[in-house]
Amino acid sequence: MCIVGARPNFMKMAPILRALAAHQPPLPALLVHTGQHYDASMSDQLFADLQLPRPDLNLEVGSGSHAVQTAEVMKRFEPAVDEHRPSCILVVGDVNSTLACTLVGVKKGVPVVHVEAGLRSYDRKMPEEINRVLTDQVADRLYTTERSAAANLQREGIAPERICFAGNVMIDSLLSHRESARVPAATLQAHGANPALLQRPQGYGVVTLHRPSNVDDADTLRALLQVLAEIAYQLPLVFALHPRTRANIERFGLNSLINAEHMAMLPPQGYLEMVGLMAGATVVLTDSGGLQEETTALGVPCLTLRENTERPITIEQGTNTLVGRDVQAIRDGVAQILAGQGKRGRVPEYWDGHAAERIAADLYAWLRAGAP
């Protein structure tokens, strides 16, 4: 049983399902969507873009507090496990659905496999960090995206035999869709934004923000919108708004801070639109984990508006720089990139488009050998 719940899971699962089907012999999979994300723009559109099959099961849990959401996934997933009796449960990433399904599986004695294991921000105020630590502690087979993850896991007492360095499945998706990405001007046009914004000599920047630490506090969100509005005068910005961020801009009365002349405010974008926007950007400003990795793979400079990252390879080898919520650091970061001094970086080991194939091969051997 392969589990997806929220937007960042979909691009990880698509290549895994393909690799399981292409494996000789094929490894049959049942796709379960928990329904954590349910808006067309957060879910259906991504399924279409990534050619994901329709889920075999949709648990339709929807939104709620962390406790409610996690508990609801567990309650609804347990009978599905009883009914389908999978030989293993495969979870990806670090969202609430990842942890919820892991807990159900291990308590029922079903082997659990975690793809994207061992990433650590060492910031336990992030809900995703709790999901990562707990999932890895109890999952049976742990596939990592970068070598530093194994050291993190071993520090937490996890035996090296449980860990397999497979590479980055999110980059499998990126590479297979790079050619079919949507042209940025068409994306802006489709939303009634002015495509001329993209034609300045300095190019354009792409912004996404959705972390509670950035968007749930009115003062923080105000300061970030102010600095972005200021940057937009030098570098036009395309902002893809997460539903949480859009709601908070309304709630805190911050609409007037948007520099409408130099910023395109778009709804959450499809995968092909987002890849097109990122690939053509001068810089990406984000608090997303996935975008930090995708910009590294694309060689596009990324300024991460967080104090830490669980993906250190994007800083050490890639194009990523942490600027936190420090408005001066954000300004300086953009100025440096506009001066042609942005990080170029290199593509990390095993971010080569074949991670899912390595996972399928290992998973087959592991299950044949009797799993845990």
Which residues would be at the binding site for ligand UD1 (CB under 6 A)? 6-8, 36-39, 42, 63, 94-96, 127-128, 210, 242-244
The enclosing H or E element of 264 equals: strand 263-266
* Number of Cβ atoms within 10 Å of the Cβ of 368: 8
- Pick between residue 231 and residue 275 the one whose CB is nearest to ligand UD1: 275
The Cα 141–Cα 163 span in angstroms is 6
- Pick between residue 128 and residue 146 the one whose CB is nearest to ligand UD1: 128
Question: Edge-to-edge strand order for the sheet containing 320-322?
Answer: 263-266, 237-240, 205-208, 283-286, 302-304, 320-322
Task: Using alpha carbons, select from 223, 241, 237, 317 the residue that is nearest to residue 282.
Answer: 237
What is the smallest separation between the CB atom of 72 and ligand UD1, expressed in angstroms? 11
- Pick between residue 36 and residue 319 the one whose CB is nearest to ligand UD1: 36
Is residue 242 within 8 Å of 210, Cβ to Cβ? yes
What is the smallest separation between the CB atom of 269 and ligand UD1, expressed in angstroms? 12
- Pick between residue 8 and residue 301 the one whose CB is nearest to ligand UD1: 8
Helical residues (DSSP H) of the chain, grouped into ranges: 7-22, 45-49, 66-84, 96-107, 127-138, 148-155, 169-177, 184-190, 212-215, 218-234, 243-251, 271-279, 289-298, 313-316, 327-338, 355-368
Residues belonging to the active site = 210
What is the smallest separation between the CB atom of 300 and ligand UD1, expressed in angstroms? 20
What tokens were used for 50? 């990534």
Strand partners, 208: 286
What is the smallest separation between the CB atom of 303 and ligand UD1, expressed in angstroms? 18
Neighbouring residues of 237: CB distance < 8 A, sequence distance ≥ 6: 204, 205, 206, 207, 228, 231, 259, 262, 263, 264, 285
Strand partners, 302: 284, 320
- Pick between residue 92 and residue 360 the one whose CB is nearest to ligand UD1: 92
What is the smallest separation between the CB atom of 241 and ligand UD1, expressed in angstroms? 11
- Pick between residue 210 and residue 343 the one whose CB is nearest to ligand UD1: 210
What is the smallest separation between the CB atom of 245 and ligand UD1, expressed in angstroms? 9
Task: Using alpha carbons, select from 31, 44, 176, 151 the residue that is nearest to residue 92.
Answer: 31
